[in-house]
Structure 1
Amino acid sequence: MEGELEALCASVDDVFARPASRENLRAMMRGLLAEVPRKNLWQLAEFAGQPNPDRLQGFLAKAAWDADELRDRVRDYAVAALTAPDAVLIADETGDIKKGT
């Protein structure tokens, strides 16, 4: 799966202005696909070997990228993958139970 993930990330590298953003994208994707207990920035940063989530938070909050272009390319990737005769799409909108009202 690592090769497929790298190919996907490489296909969108030019959407990100800085090499650090490309590295953060890969770290986040690896963490999201890993078997970590929770998919929050602390857990993703820890999985990536970072001491805290500051780098990933900065990536999400401040990094420059063309969100529309990224969305379009990921959509095209998914559509191409679903053209296989044995392709299956599973939409799962489960999440963590939130506290409070």
Structure 2
Amino acid sequence: MTTYHFVAASEPFLTVEEPLEEVLRERVRNYGEKGKAIDFWLVRRPAFLEAPALAAASASVPRPAAAVVSTDEKFITFLKLRLEFVLVGQFESPSEAIPDPLASLS
């Protein structure tokens, strides 16, 4: 099982109002220079927010939602500080309650 950390907000907020694309592009460039594998993903309409374990917390996130999911907790903390109005959380997956959050990306 993998621990995933995330920031979630409304899709328009993350993809239009905030300069998230610029932040992610810079991070991809930086990882490329260091030869590091990508450990973060932009997930549009993340199903994991509907899981019973996250439903109460995620109820405050306007729909349609989007999330940046990562295995790097420090990166998610950075995004929280950079973006401010986002939900931050974590979950273990794959599990019975939360299937692989990246399955829809392939």
Calculate the TM-score normalised by the size of structure 2.
Answer: 0.27
Structure with more strand by fraction = 2
If you compute each CA radius of gyration, which structure gives the higher value, 1 or 2? 1
Q: Which has the higher contact order (CA 8 A, sep 6+)?
A: 2
Instruction: Decide which structure has greater helix share.
Output: 1
